[in-house]
Structure 1
Amino acid sequence: MSEKTLVRPVFTGQELRKLILPLVLEQFLAVTVGMADTMMVSTVGEAAVSGISLVDQANLLLIQVFAAMATGGAVVASQYLGRRDRDGARDSARQLVYVVLALSVTLAVVCVVFNRHLLRLMFGQVEPDVMQAAETYFWLSALSYPFIAVYNAGAALFRSMGNSKVSLLASFIMNVINIGGNALLIYGFQMGVAGAATASLFSRMTACFMVLYLLRSRQNPIYLEQVLHLHLDGGKIRSILKVGIPNGIENGMFQIGKLLVAGLVASFGTASIAANAICNNIGSLVSIPAAAIGLGMVTVVGRCMGADEKKQARTYTRNLLLIAWATIVVMNGLILVLAKPLVGFYAMPASTTDLSLEILREFCLWSIFSWTPSFVLPNALRAAGDAKFTMCVSMVSMWIFRIGMSYVLAYALDMGLRGVWLAMYIDWCVRAVIFLWRAKGDRWQQKKVIE
């Protein structure tokens, strides 16, 4: 028997399904949190929808930074598990909790204290009723940052163990609390925007405490113990930050770009803000299965690299990318067919509804070709330690094409909101070409995350 046939797969087909299928369901549940807020608050009026939409752009910026740090911790933990070093994996988990907690508490304090100033800096002089809704939603959202940050870290650690059922269960409970809280506080107590934000806050608190409790079990390959006895490991923190910082900068710059674009959209008026929010909400459904596969790819490729199975890392990357692409095709087809009733759920004026339908249909066609290599494939590169490359490509493409072209198309060519979305598609296409070229070569597999 040859040596090649003796190589054991790092992940069997069954293990991949156990990892990825719960992630798909979890992503569907996660997206419904934002959709439930927007749909249920839409009964309060366009100003409430617009205020939540603007703040969610800022919230997403910070949540993406927390998620980037969680990804850094997941990559490090996965590589330690691939090396069969459970002590190293457990200690890296503790360091990850310290990092995300310190970061999220700091940002929460800044956002609560400088609420109005930050909103005016990001969005300028929007209509007074929109700004009032945004201020209320922003400070209540900021209180949830430490909880969502620690939850993301815990969920990432469970994924690195190949267990995504825990985060699925936590996401389900979070959605039940959020939607039930929305119904009670928005409709029952007539709290409007404050009700939506409060429900989200309590749902995130619950998910955070649940994941922390489950991470204390010694039956897990990675478990947390003596977290309150502060012990900082500079080497492991550096390993986490080696992936987390470039990924955080990449995600942060991406969301800052979206904020600048959101400020541009705000200048088009309330109808465009609302249409933009509706299309972002519905459009997020399209990528759910593919995004879940991308999350699983971090664990799979990280384990392969930790075990020094570079050939398997390449094979898994190719196969998972193709599966993700197939899901994108199917999901976009469904959205195209159901676009009109989906947009109708938001109960907006006819002009807003017509603009939303036009943009959403164009979005589906562009997404089929360019979304998957733009956003799924980079996860494999990051899991191998090639996070700086993905950061540089994403930042350059964002500033030149997503932001620069938005102003050119929206103002110079007078395309308005459609021009902003067209600039986004150009950005996707540029990223797709570069990341496919990088994955075809070998340099991404020569990086080191842990020593």
Structure 2
Amino acid sequence: MSKKQTAANMTLFAITWPIFIEILLHMLMGNADTLMLSQYDDDSVAAVGVSNQIMSVIIVMFGFVATGTTILIAQNLGAKRFENAGIIAVVSIVANIIMGLVLSAVLFFFGESILIMMNLPVELMDTALIYLRIVGGFAFVQALIMTLSAVVKSHGFTRDAMYVTLGMNVLNVFGNFVFIFGAFGAPELGATGVAISTAFSRTLGTIVLFITLYWRVKGDLPWSKTFRSFPKKELADLFRIGIPTAGEHLSYNASQMVITYYIASMGTVALTTRVYTLNIVMFAFLFSIAIGQGTQILIGHMIGEKRFDEAYKRALRSLATGIGVSVFVASIFTIFSDQLFGIFTSNQEIIQMGGVLLILTIILEPGRAFNLIIINALRAAGDVRFPVYVGILSMWGVAVTVSYFAGIWLGLGLIGIWIAMILDEWLRGLLMLGRWRSGKWRSMSFIQTEERKSS
């Protein structure tokens, strides 16, 4: 079944709308945690927000394998190299299991030290630590979810991943209700209940994804053959894509942790405002994320089939769509900012500041769309190093530096932080667009590299 899934019979809409729903559901899962906790205690929201900032860095470590998996499988399927695609899938699953177990242990045993480094207010420490140990201890489950989902989606079965995420979402919300508020005679656990519900729903989702993988691509996964000899070449290819990609994501998340450190020094209100604002603006760039991932799969197939001109045009059309939709959504959110923040809190200081940040988000989102879509296109074509070099320079030279200068030194607070984000996203985005237009990526695919070596 999977061997018929090629770029020739996929459209951007067909492959992207399930990805959109899947990411929306992932975001709703996080928002459900925040919304339900906000009815319990604002301090718990801030504690969980900081813990999730740490988790986002850990998830990047899993994501580099998942990203390499998506690109390599798509290129190999496009080139009709089905056995190679299967070997890459098996290697990536095993690699992320091992990495997930190691990082789970790090978060469980060293969580307190990490939170202290984050400059977390003392009154939030106990709540944040319990949450981090539970969710972080099950981080290996998230590693599996990301890898299994990448394999399934690379074969074109994006709806299957969406259905699994829907199930996890429903289960997570129900678990939150039970454990946060002590429904049906359960203990009232607050943030701890959110952690338990998150860990359990993800574990069950992993089991279902394994079943889905077996059903959809069973014949394409040569488990025994893959490990008869050490899969050195496949691991090397994953790392060639994954390590630079992880470098970019780690740089971004590390820079965001430094910025969070700055915000934490502004107090709990500023920290909580940021958490609520990010939970809202996530929906503005959700479309760009989905379009970027769908475009990456399509371009990966096109590159494997050596349809370079179509790949070039596909990325630019995707970019135009992503910019238009994300700006429109950000504008709607700005109009209804009071009502949106009112869902989370009655604190007028948070509501007013959040409204200002949403206005700035209208300027921020086009720049973010450039990065989310064009960088994915470059990676799909094999051009993985350029985004890393530019990203590291901009994130630290612009985002972190301007955040301190404008937010702390000039005393602009969160407004200064948002200005820094705008400058960073636009600078990187325009440089990525220039790289795509240059066409240097046309000779960088992994399929072409192998063909040159064998000739």
Give yes or no for contact 1:86–1:221 (8 Å, CA) kept in 2: no
Q: Which amino acid aligns with 1:369?
A: P
Asked if the contact 1:101/1:149 (under 8 Å) is kept, the reply is yes
Corresponding residue number in structure 1 for 2:417: 420
Task: Give the match's secondary structure for 2:188.
Answer: coil
**Correspondence for 1:140 among 127, 134, 156:** 134
* Equivalence map 1:305-320=2 (5 Å): 305-320=303-318
Structure 1 stretch displaced more, 219-228 or 159-168:
219-228
* Residue identity matched to 1:35: N
Offset at residue 218 of structure 1 (A): 5.9
Question: Partner residue of 2:442?
Answer: 445
Q: Secondary structure at the match of 2:215?
A: coil
C-alpha displacement of 1:256: 0.6
Residue 397 in structure 1 maps to residue 394 in structure 2: yes
Matches for 1:326-345 after TM superposition, within 5 Å: 326-345=324-343
8 Å contact 1:328–1:367 — kept in the other structure?
A: no
**Correspondence for 1:291 among 266, 285, 289:** 289
Which amino acid in the other structure matches residue 242 of structure 2?
G
Shift in Å at residue 132 of structure 1?
1.3
Q: Give the CA deviation at 1:278.
A: 0.5
Q: Deviations over 1:357-404 (max 9, x none)?
A: 2212221x2134312112211000011111111111111100001101
Identity among equivalent pairs (%): 23
Q: Residue in 2 aligned with 1:177?
A: 171
What do the CA deviations read for 1:252-285 (whole angstroms, capped 9, x no partner)? 1100110111111000001000001001110101
Aligned pairs, number: 440
Do the aligned partners of 1:215 and 1:222 also contact (CA within 8 Å) in 2? Answer: no
Q: Are the equivalent residues in 1 in contact too, given 2:57–2:254 (CA < 8 A)?
A: yes
3-state SS, counterpart of residue 7 of structure 2: coil
1:147-226 mapped onto 2 (5 Å cutoff): 147-188=141-182, 189-217=187-215, 222-223=220-221, 225-226=223-224
- Structure 1 residue 46: deviation in Å? 2.0
Among 104, 110, 114, the alignment partner of 1:108 is 104
CA deviations 1:268-308 (Å, max 9, x no partner) are 00100000100111010101122111111121111111112
Indicate the larger mover: 437-446 or 348-357: 348-357
More helix by percentage: 2
- Does 2:42 correspond to 1:46? yes
Deviation at 1:220, TM superposition (A): 5.9
1:282: which partner in 2? 280
Amino acid at match of 1:438: R
Work out whether residues 364 and 421 of structure 2, in 8 Å CA contact, stay in contact via their aligned partners in 1: no
Superposition map of 1:22-37 within 5 A = 22-37=18-33
Distance 1:332 1:417 in 2: 18
SS in 2 for 1:216: helix
Asked whether the equivalents of residues 7 and 78 of structure 2 are also in contact (C-alpha less than 8 Å), the reply is no
1:46-83 Cα offsets, whole Å, 9 max, x none, are: 21111011111111111123122201111111111011
For 2:217 and 2:282, the matched residues in 1 are separated by 36
Q: Which residue does the alignment assign to 1:250? A: 248
Q: Is the 8 A contact 1:70 1:153 kept in 2?
A: yes
Instruction: Rate the CA distance shift 1:285–1:222 in 2: closer, same or farther, 3 A.
Output: farther
Deviation at 1:215, TM superposition (A): 1.0
In the alignment, is the contact (CA less than 8 A) between 1:216 and 1:224 conserved in 2?
no
- 1:81-120 matches, cutoff 5 A: 81-120=77-116
- Which residue matches 1:4? none
Find out whether 1:383 has 2:377 as its counterpart: no
Distance in 2 (CA, whole Å) between partners of 1:11 and 1:169 is 22
Provide the secondary structure at the position in 1 that maps to 2:336: helix
Which secondary structure state, in structure 2, belongs to the residue aligned with residue 84 of structure 1?
Answer: coil
Mark the CA change 1:228 to 1:446 in structure 2 (over 3 Å): closer, same or farther.
Answer: closer
Out of 366-375 and 21-30, give the one that drifted further: 366-375
Mapping 1:235-274, distance limit 5 Å: 235-274=233-272
Question: Could you tell me which residue of structure 2 aligns to residue 5 of structure 1?
Answer: none
TM-score, L = length of structure 2: 0.93
Contact 1:93 1:157 in 2 (8 A): yes
Q: Deviations over 1:153-182 (max 9, x none)?
A: 111111211110111011101101111100
Q: CA 1:34–1:378 in structure 2 vs 1: closer, same or farther (change >3 Å)?
A: same
Report the AA paired with residue 164 of structure 2: A
Counterpart-to-counterpart distance in 2, 1:129 and 1:167? 39
- Identify unmatched segments of 5+ residues in structure 2: 451-455
Tell me which of 426, 430, 441 is aligned to 2:427: 430
Change (3 A) 1:350 1:10: same
